[in-house]
């Protein structure tokens, strides 16, 4: 068990399971983008670890960019997505692979979809390490899913609780 701020968390997903999921995601992405030069777009802050792992497994030429969006306060979403750090790279006519750490409500994806349409990308696909099907109510398709989980609040491997826990190599869930 670990404590972050005022909450206790218990082990949930091992580092080995996470690594296996990332390897499987990478195989799918590498197959679909063979002989293409995609732009990997990591969603900060949470996706920095999974993005680095997927990108370093990509054998071809690629570019990397990040955008920082925020919608959480504590353990709950505000329902409003703010752009905290925008895109500076030209994306028009490019193939983009969006890398998320977790998809739950899908509010961030709706904002990413808006941004990418505005930037006139030729196409994009979405990859996520963790996916909460119970919480996801949007229409956007998710192309690459690492691990489906129930609607638990989790920390570790890039995910945080009020800034703490991103550095943990395994994932913990909120203790009930």
pLDDT at 84: 47
pLDDT at 3: 97
Would residue 122 count as lying in a domain?
A: yes
Going along 104-161, which residue ranges are E strands?
A: 123-131, 144-148, 154-155
Q: State the Cα–Cα distance between residues 20 and 143, nearest whole angstrom.
A: 18
Q: Among this protein's residues, is 160 annotated catalytic?
A: no
Would residue 172 count as lying in a domain?
A: no
Residue 69, strand partner residues? 83
* Set 104, 113, 143, 160: catalytic member: 104
Would residue 91 count as lying in a domain?
A: yes
- Cα→Cα distances 150→61, 100, 116, 153, 170, Å: 36, 17, 29, 9, 17
Would residue 26 count as lying in a domain?
A: yes
Would residue 24 count as lying in a domain?
A: yes
Would residue 166 count as lying in a domain?
A: no
Can you give the residue range of the structural domain that contains 18? 14-152
Q: What CATH number does the domain containing 148 carry? A: 3.40.50.2020
Q: What is the pLDDT along the chain (176 residues), one digit of tens a residue?
A: 999 999 999 999 999 999 999 999 999 999 999 999 999 999 988 899 999 999 999 999 999 999 887 655 555 555 565 554 567 778 999 999 999 999 998 988 998 998 899 999 999 999 999 999 999 999 999 999 999 999 999 999 999 999 999 999 999 999 98
Would residue 64 count as lying in a domain?
A: yes
Report how many helices (DSSP H) and strands (DSSP E) the chain contains, helices first.
3, 10
Would residue 9 count as lying in a domain?
A: no
The whole-model pTM stands at: 0.90
In the chain, the number of structural domains is 1
List the structure tokens of 165: 């826990």
Helix axes 15-32, 48-56, angle to 10 degrees: 50
pLDDT at 69: 74
């Amino acid at each position: 068990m670990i404590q972050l701020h005022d909450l206790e968390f218990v082990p949930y997903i091992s580092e080995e399971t996470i690594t296996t999921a990332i390897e499987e995601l990478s195989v799918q992405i590498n197959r679909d983008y063979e002989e293409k030069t995609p732009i990997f777009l990591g969603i900060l802050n949470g996706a920095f670890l999974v993005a680095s792992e997927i990108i370093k497994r990509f054998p071809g030429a690629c570019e990397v960019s990040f955008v920082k969006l925020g919608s959480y306060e504590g353990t709950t979403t505000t329902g409003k997505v703010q752009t905290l750090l925008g895109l500076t790279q030209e994306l028009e006519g490019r193939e983009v692979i969006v890398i998320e750490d977790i998809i739950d409500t899908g509010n961030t994806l709706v904002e990413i979809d808006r941004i990418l349409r505005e930037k006139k990308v030729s196409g994009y696909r979405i990859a996520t390490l963790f996916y909460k099907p119970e919480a996801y109510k949007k229409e956007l398709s998710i192309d690459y899913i690492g691990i489906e989980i129930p609607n638990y609040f989790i920390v570790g491997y890039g995910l945080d609780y009020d800034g703490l826990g991103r550095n943990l190599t395994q994932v913990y869930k909120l203790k009930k």
